[in-house]
Amino acid sequence: MHSTEKLNALLAHVKSTFIGKNEIIDLLGICLLARENAFLLGPPGTAKSAIVRSLSNGVEDGKNFEYLLTRFTEPNEIFGPFDIRKLKEGELVTNTEGMMPEASMVFLDEIFNANSAILNSLLLALNEKIFRRGKETKKLPVLMFVGASNILPEDEALNALLDRFLVRVKCDYVDPDLLNEVLLAGWKLENNSNGKAPTISSTEIRELQLACRQVDLSSIRKEYVNLVHSLRTTGISVSDRRAVKIQNLIAASAFICGRNKASVSDLWVLKYIWDNEEQIEVLEGIVNHVIEKDTQEQSHPQAMYNKIPQAEEVMKEVKYLSDKWNDSTLSFEEQNVIKDKLRYVQTRCDWIKNQEQKKYIQDEIEKFWQIILKTIA
């Protein structure tokens, strides 16, 4: 079996184990190929750690490192203690056996509990894949870092930590309609009756990561540049460094679908570069508007997953935003958020199939825009 097929088989197995989590699992697969870091945001009980553990177990010869951070976590707990024998000889050498510097897959839960004692070393590891402590410098064998938290950071130092995760995924409880399937899959998992999981070696993954860099992006360069400009205009921060690194994700989307040339549909990965939850819907609207024009038959499944909205749902959203706009205590920033969300709703309105309903809602949105313009004039 080809290495790409092995990876897809592993991802398919994890999806069959964790019902309703395809989006998260597909994105972890993309990050693994791109050798970029992923951040999972969600409440306890949404299977964040279990999904990462299941994926890590599929790397047959890899070493996994998983740790729950607290405010009191010390460097020794993450990077390893100093070697006592070397210490007696006057050398500060870390014994990294079984610790993060030797792991191929790393999962750090509640990552924003990281304190100043470990923050600098952690930032360097996430950004450069290098471990530095005193005079020691070691290149890390890590294939991918995954961080998780229930909340987004407010502290500036911790925002730098979030910035090291290129992909951000929101993890919610599964749709109630899928609960029966979730229970069945969970029962199988509890009783270890899921069958033998497909595996792939860390060497094969590294080979795929190198091959992924050979994907031709020339055909989508113009659309990508325009999309980055569009996001910046909307107020979504896309630094030059992030714009360069996002190309790895675009290439991974094409590569995992068996293509050596990217298509516009591969820009779907840009839906997951948000800095706060308010940007999620805005990003989805802007990116979906671009990728829906692509007719590529071999598009990534997540690129094709554009929900066709119900007219009633869109109208409810317009009414909700309109009522919120009438709040006299709204700040300038809150007004901008409402305008961004209205643009997203306007984009979703274009997908409504019933022409009469679409026209009615478009007229209501236009009236709302007129009210907004009069308010800010």
Q: State the CATH number of the domain containing residue 27.
A: 3.40.50.300
In a domain, 32, yes or no: yes
Whether residue 37 is found in the same domain as residue 176? yes
In a domain, 160, yes or no: yes
Whether residue 33 is found in the same domain as residue 83? yes
How far apart are alpha carbons 247 and 336 in whole angstroms?
29
Q: Per residue of the chain (377 residues), what is the pLDDT tens digit?
A: 688 899 999 999 999 888 889 999 999 999 999 999 999 999 988 889 999 999 999 998 878 999 999 999 998 999 988 776 766 666 677 778 889 999 999 999 999 999 988 998 899 999 999 988 777 788 999 999 999 999 999 888 789 899 999 999 999 887 776 667 777 777 777 676 556 788 999 999 999 999 999 999 999 999 999 999 999 998 898 999 999 999 999 999 999 999 999 999 999 999 999 999 889 888 988 898 888 777 777 788 888 665 456 788 788 888 888 888 888 788 888 888 888 888 878 877 776 767 888 889 999 999 999 988 887 75
H/E element, 223: helix 221-234
Confidence (pLDDT) at 316:
86
Whether residue 105 is found in the same domain as residue 220? no
In a domain, 161, yes or no: yes
Question: For residue 22, which of 215, 178, 220, 254 has the smallest C-alpha distance?
Answer: 178
- Which of 156, 190, 224 delimits the end of a domain? 190
Whether residue 117 is found in the same domain as residue 50? yes
Whether residue 287 is found in the same domain as residue 315? no
Number of domains in the chain: 3
How far apart are alpha carbons 75 and 158 in whole angstroms?
17
Q: Are the beta carbons of 269 and 246 closer than 8 angstroms?
A: yes
Whether residue 219 is found in the same domain as residue 79? no
Give the strand pairing for 130-133 and 136-139: antiparallel
In a domain, 296, yes or no: no
Whether residue 102 is found in the same domain as residue 35? yes
Whether residue 159 is found in the same domain as residue 283? no
In a domain, 49, yes or no: yes
Q: Which domain holds residue 241?
A: 215-291
How far apart are alpha carbons 247 and 253 in whole angstroms?
10
Q: Are the beta carbons of 130 and 124 closer than 8 angstroms?
A: yes
In a domain, 300, yes or no: no
Whether residue 140 is found in the same domain as residue 256? no
Whether residue 43 is found in the same domain as residue 77? yes
- In eight-state DSSP terms, residue 92 is -
Whether residue 105 is found in the same domain as residue 54? yes
Whether residue 246 is found in the same domain as residue 117? no
In a domain, 304, yes or no: no
Indicate whether this model's pTM tops 0.85.
no
